[in-house]
């Protein structure tokens, strides 16, 4: 009987096979967008098979730089989602649906698809971000049937809005609607925090989540650079129909106050969840279950919140 090849040779041949497969997929998926770098071998957890991802080349985008240099982004949220999805899958008896609002380049969309414990509805307003995410899905062909990508922006109404981002964080734009000069508008806010490098990166036609998503949603991740309150004004039917069990959201009070089109205070965004029976876990603060607790909560400048349905 012929002896099995040594492990080193088996690894070598497997690597060649993977490289050949990746090269073939790259041809089928077309060339990357200008200013794009492809990162190979992303593996946030040891039980997740490695995958590839397109990011912004260079050092002018924080998310891309972290993924390219460390193959990791937002470790806390990554670990939480990787832990919660299989538990939820076992608990509810069917594959959870993750709604990723503000998918950006797709870190959490790809993570969920790679986990084998989620189907994903990804929503991304930036044309360049969506193009990179779409190519990442193509390069990881087994993800394409697990992810539905909507290349739109969402909010409270249907209108034309601008996308405005910092030059040092170019792939994470904020939505600005109904303002004269969107870059000037955002630089007035940024100057209070030590930066005035906002530029217009694109535009989009806004729609409402309730007009876009009609299926159930089990997990919601939202990070839309201060536009969260406006998005929440357009998703009440979703919460009436199938309230998500878990919500992961960024909360930047001063940015919400700046970009919201009403005089409503930023806490209205969090009150939405409390009034529907959710618990807010915030920055090691005791769990918030009432609006009275919310008033006494000392929010940081940037807050990553975990919101669970009771």
Q: How far is the C-alpha of 17 from the C-alpha of 114, rounded, in Å?
A: 20
DSSP code per residue over 103-159: -TTSHHHHHHHHHTS-EEEEE---HHHHHHHHHHHHHSGGGTTTEEEE--EE-SS--
Q: Pick 308 or 283 by higher pLDDT.
A: 308
Assign residue 202 a region (left: φ > 0; alpha: ψ between -120 and 50; beta: otherwise): left
302: number of Cβ within 10 Å: 12
Per-residue confidence band for 10, with pLDDT thresholds at 50, 70 and 90: very low
Q: Note the pLDDT of residue 26.
A: 62
pLDDT of 116 higher than 50: yes
Q: Are 206 and 198 in contact (CB under 8 A)?
A: no
Assign residue 117 a region (left: φ > 0; alpha: ψ between -120 and 50; beta: otherwise): alpha
Give Cβ neighbours of residue 91 (< 8 Å, ≥ 6 apart): none
Mean pLDDT, all residues of the chain: 91
CATH class (in words) of the domain with range 72-309: alpha beta
292 alpha carbon, distance to own chain's centre: 30
Q: How far is the C-alpha of 150 from the C-alpha of 81, rounded, in Å?
A: 21
Q: Pick 296 or 172 by higher pLDDT.
A: 172
Average pLDDT over residues 254-263: 76
pTM above 0.85, yes or no: yes
Per-residue confidence band for 121, with pLDDT thresholds at 50, 70 and 90: very high
Q: Note the pLDDT of residue 193.
A: 86
């Amino acid at each position: 009987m012929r002896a099995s090849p040594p492990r080193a040779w088996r690894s070598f041949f497997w690597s060649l096979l993977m490289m050949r497969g990746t090269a073939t997929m790259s041809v089928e998926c077309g060339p990357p967008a200008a200013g794009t770098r492809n990162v190979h071998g992303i593996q946030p957890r040891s039980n997740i098979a490695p995958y590839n991802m397109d990011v912004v080349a260079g050092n002018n985008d924080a998310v891309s730089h972290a993924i390219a240099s460390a193959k990791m982004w937002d470790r806390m949220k990554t670990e939480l989602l990787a832990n919660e999805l299989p538990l939820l899958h076992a608990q509810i008896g069917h594959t959870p649906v993750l709604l990723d609002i503000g998918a950006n380049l797709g870190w959490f969309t790809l993570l969920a698809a790679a986990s084998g414990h989620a189907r994903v509805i990804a929503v991304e307003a930036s044309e360049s971000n969506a193009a990179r995410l779409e190519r990442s899905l193509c390069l990881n062909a087994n993800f394409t049937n697990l992810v539905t990508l909507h290349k739109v922006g969402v909010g409270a109404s249907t209108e034309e809005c601008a996308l405005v981002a910092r030059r040092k964080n170019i792939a994470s734009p904020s939505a600005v609607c109904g303002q004269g000069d969107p870059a000037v508008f955002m630089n007035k806010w940024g100057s209070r925090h030590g930066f005035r490098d906002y530029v217009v990166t694109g535009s989009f036609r806004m729609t409402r989540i309730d007009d876009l998503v009609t299926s159930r949603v089990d997990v919601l991740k939202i990070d839309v650079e201060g536009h969260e309150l406006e998005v929440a004004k357009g998703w009440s039917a979703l919460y009436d129909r199938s309230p998500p069990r878990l919500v992961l959201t960024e909360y930047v009070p001063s940015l919400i106050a700046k970009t919201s089109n009403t005089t409503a205070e930023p806490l209205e965004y969090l009150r939405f969840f409390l009034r529907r029976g959710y618990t807010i876990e915030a920055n090691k603060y005791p769990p918030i279950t009432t609006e009275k607790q919310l008033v006494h909560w000392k929010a940081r400048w940037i807050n990553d919140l975990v919101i669970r349905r009771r």
